[in-house]
Structure 1
Amino acid sequence: MAAAAGSNSYHVLQYAYVPDILEKRGPHREQHLAGASKMADANKLVMAGALTDPVDGAIFIFRNVSKDDIEQFVQADPYVKAGLVPNYTIRPYMVVAGDCS
């Protein structure tokens, strides 16, 4: 079911990881996951996870969060601070099917 006009807005944050992310993420992983969990617990992050085969990036789907708030999330992320995310994009996302609650 598509969201009614004006009800929910979504953004996709996509990370590109450094090639050796699996070897380098260890010291930063717990805090990285805690930041995502905090956003999910606040009902701002719908889902997030790594792209696999190969592990070369991640996708986060935010609901009813401004682009500026997502930018603040990115700048506070331990993976970004450690240089493990050399590139990222934030884009509006229009949901047309699925769970839009």
Structure 2
Amino acid sequence: MAKYIMWGSYCEDVLEKRAPHRQAHLDGLAKQKESGVLITIGPTKDVTKVFGIYEADDEAIVRELIENDPYWQNNIWTEYFVKEWIQAF
């Protein structure tokens, strides 16, 4: 399976706007982690960007996971990019 990185942006006032969607978001990420598709994910310290690493059969799977996330569906994440990644070490 290939590895993919996701790099995205958060909306303005993210800490307030994410509150109603946070638990559903975290529950979904926990399921992805348990299944092995999600390696890690988290915000930058200033909560302006999000970075994640996934392992999946193809990029379409990663994009589907991102686009089904409550943060994407409720405009908490405002944009994202996915690139196949080669882990050197």
Both structures adopt the same fold (TM-score exceeding 0.5): yes
Distance 1:93 1:77 in 2: 21
Offset of 1:11 from its aligned partner?
0.1
Shift of 1:44: 0.8
Task: State whether structure 2 residue 34 is matched by structure 1 residue 41.
Answer: yes
| Runs (4+) off by over 3 Å | none
Determine the C-alpha separation between the residues in 2 that align with 1:75 and 1:64.
Answer: 15
Bigger Rg, structure 1 or 2: 1
| Identity fraction in percent | 24
The separation in 2 between residues aligned to 1:43 and 1:31, in whole angstroms, is: 19
1:27 counterpart = 2:20: yes
Q: Which runs of 5+ in 2 are unaligned?
A: none
Matched residue type, 1:93 = W
Which is richer in helix?
2
Q: Is the aligned partner of 1:76 residue 2:76?
A: no
* Higher share of residues assigned strand: 2
- Report how many aligned residue pairs link the two structures: 89
Tell me the SS of whatever aligns to 1:19.
coil
Counterpart check, 1:13 vs 2:6 = yes
Q: Give the RMSD, CA atoms, in angstroms.
A: 1.1
Cα displacement (A) at 1:78: 0.5
Map 1:42-57 → 2, pairs under 5 A: 42-52=35-45, 54-57=46-49
State TM-score, norm by structure 1: 0.82
Q: Is the 8 A contact 1:18 1:56 kept in 2?
A: yes
Unaligned runs of 5+ in 1: 1-7
Question: What is the CA distance between 1:73 and its match in structure 2?
Answer: 0.7
Pair 1:65–1:32, CA change in 2 (3 A):
farther
